[in-house]
Structures are given as structure tokens and as C-alpha cells.
Structure 1
């Protein structure tokens, strides 16, 4: 088959989907353009008059950009939320984290906010970004089956992510992005006040357990953790996306689920 043949419509759409998943959101031309070397065209007479008027008009104060958010501001905003609706509204208006400006929408939470069981993942993926809910793609379908295997479903749990906006190309959030988003996660946990927490995957485990250890070493080990001002028993397990890539690891995840079910029964939360 020729390598230079034109792509058909289906192939072109696949390429565009791949670019979008990789975080590409700006088209460029084949040759680089030196914007500093460009000169604006000479203004016409009406334009010159407009320039003269503009010279005596005070320039508008530029709005702050999304780069360099203040963690202190994030903590103050998060602490001001008295309920989950207020917290969501604050996050919708918050411009301190640059992830917001690459994402389609905020991915706040899913499930039952009155549940006493909270699941914490890492960050939204492409499908979550489109639908505005965590764990709705292939990994979310597997998570549903995992919950069902121990008698749970989304009406009995509350699901959040450590970061509420999708990082470009599904990359891991940077430490700066995590620092800006962590106060909102902490406040979310404080408002829900779960009796048990399960973290899904390494980054979520490291955030909640405040450790640099890997998930393989930590999974399946219960620990009392402090999330904001809320203390709760937490169990780390493998992320469903990891299980999709490594089906042999499902045996380990199943042991974690059994341990979680046993703790549920001991606390009467089933």
C-alpha cells in the first residue's frame, strides 16, 4: 500500500481524535513564523484618528492569566465552601490552575454525596472530560464491575479525583497542579465525611497517604489517614486502567476488594 495516498474521512477523524487525546489544540503552518519580526500595516487616515483617540484613553487593566496560581488563595476559597454545591460553584469560577484552560469542563464528582464510602482516583480522562463525570470510560466500566462484585454500586459510593480537570494527553498532574487542587479535594472530603476511603492507583494513593512509595508496595494495606481535617481509614488498590493493561493483576485487586468488603461489614456500612 502506498505511504503517500490521501487519507479517507474515517482515517482523518481518527488522526484528529489522536491529536486531541495527546493534548494538541492549536494548528500551525509548515514554516515557522517570527511574530517579533512582523510589522503592522500602515494605518489609514480613519485608523490614525482612532489611534490618536486611543492615546488619550487609559488602557484597560489586563486580566490575570491562568499561570502561577496561588495555593494560599486556593486554600481560602476551598475553606469558604459550606456545602458541596458551593464548592462546585467555586471550582467552576476558579482560574488559578492552568489545567482548567485545556479541559472541556470540570469533572467534580459522581455517586451519592450522602454515602459513607468514598473512592478517590487521579484525574479525568478523555471520556470523563466529555461527560463531566469521573470514571465513565473503559476504566469506569471495570470499576462498576469491581464494585458490583462486593455488593456496591454508584448509589452507595461517592467518587472523586485528586484533580478535577483533565491534564493534556492524560499525563500525570504536576506537583504545582496538585498543590493548587489539593485544598479543594480536602474540603470535598471534609464535607462528605466518609467512614471509609479507597484510593485507585498510585498518584491518588501518594496524595492521600502522603508518601512517595509505589502502589505495588502499598496496595492492600489499611492505614488511618488525614485528608484535610478529616481522619478516616483508607485502603489503596490498583487503578482500573492498570488492570485493563495488566489483567494478571486483577487477582491482587480482588484481594483488596475482599478486604474492603470485610471492613464494610465490620462497620455495618454494607
Structure 2
């Protein structure tokens, strides 16, 4: 696997583009390959310090080919803005690069089939921090079965990177009271970057 540390921004972009082309032709999960409109690779700064990882594309993402563009994506944009982060500064991708039919959760086999692509993106972008959005992202990245509620409020580690786990924006759309928890998580995260966020 290519290590992004040694690459210029242009080279990282080229390698990510190559990987994206490989993903575009992937048929490892026959059901997903048959039902998708297109693959949803990832977007953002190829030299980002912070990578956000979600679970899988939804209908809007499948249509547009970009992660987090639907209602959950709009809420994520608000979270980023409130946290003094810009979408173009970060990198965003998912555990899966194809939409599961009916927006069901990815199966373990599907996540395993897609893992090589996630690992490739992480190696190329080489972020300092990874923020896992939701149970599927957190459990798959960190290879555990711990509920998301218990993974919050502390940093985990993945290949020398700091990992923070919080609720997925789509969960917040269904459970608005959990927005307070996500804000607490973002306060903890930004404090680690040396930025104090106000109380909400």
C-alpha cells in the first residue's frame, strides 16, 4: 500500500484518482454492484489532518456520487461550521462505497470487501485524526463490537492516529436530543486541536 506521507499533494490526488477508478469497476458485492447508480468514493483535501468516516451512501449520495450530500450531509455541514471546520479542509468517505438497497446497514462481508479501499484512502490522505460517524463506522474501523455510546468521550487509536467516535448525523435527524452529545464530542475533539468551542 502506498504511504501518503512521502507524496506531494498532486501525487496523492493522482493515486486517489486511480483508486477511485478501481472502485468504480468493483463487483465484489454482486447485489450492491447491480443496484447502485454509481460508486461513492470520497471527497476533500488529499492532505487533510482530519478524516470523517461514515457508514454507506444513501439515495442522494448514490445519485450524485459524493458522500454526505443528503439531509444528513446538510446537518454534518452545520456541525462542521459550528466547529470552525471547513468541508474543503477535511476528507470524507464511508465504510462502503456503494449504497445498500433500502439503506440497510452494510453486512460484515460487504464491509470486509470494501476495507482495502478504505485502508487505501487512509494511507494516501494520511490524516492525523479520524472521526467515525455512527456505530457501523466505529465498529468496522476499530474492529470491535462496542456500542457507540461507550466509544464516545475518549480518543481511540488506529495505526498511530487519534480516532474519535460520535453519532451519525442521520441518527441526530431521528433523535434531535443527541445533538447535545455530538456537540460535547466536537468540543473534546477541537480542544485537542487547541480550539475552545462555546457551550451550546
TM-score, length-normalised on structure 2? 0.87
The question of 1:257 aligning with 2:186 is answered yes
Aligned to 1:129: 62
Equivalent pairs counted in the alignment come to 183
CA contact (8 A) 2:56 2:98 kept: yes
Question: 1: CA distance between counterparts of 2:137 and 2:110?
Answer: 14
- 2:19 aligned residue (76, 87, 94): 87
Deviation at 1:171, TM superposition (A): 0.4
Question: 2: CA distance between counterparts of 1:215 and 1:203?
Answer: 9
Aligned to 1:238: 167
Question: 1: CA distance between counterparts of 2:184 and 2:20?
Answer: 35
Question: 2: CA distance between counterparts of 1:259 and 1:105?
Answer: 36
CA contact (8 A) 2:46 2:124 kept: no
The question of 1:142 aligning with 2:71 is answered no
The alignment partner of 1:165 has SS state of coil
- 1:225 aligned residue (152, 158, 172): 158
The alignment partner of 1:136 has SS state of coil
- 1:191 aligned residue (124, 130, 146): 124
**Whose Rg is larger?**
1
TM-score, length-normalised on structure 1? 0.65
Question: 2: CA distance between counterparts of 1:96 and 1:223?
Answer: 30
CA contact (8 A) 1:110 1:154 kept: no
Deviation at 1:220, TM superposition (A): 2.3
Task: Name segments (4+ residues, structure 1) moved above 6 Å.
Answer: none
Deviates more, 1:130-139 or 1:94-103: 94-103
CA contact (8 A) 1:106 1:165 kept: yes
Unaligned runs of 5+ in 1: 1-74, 76-80
Higher relative contact order (CA 8 A, sep 6+): 2
**For residues 167-205 of structure 1, what are the alpha-carbon distances to aligned partners after superposition, in whole Å with 9 as ceiling and x for unaligned?**
000001111111110111011100110011100000000
The alignment partner of 2:89 has SS state of coil
The alignment partner of 1:84 has SS state of helix
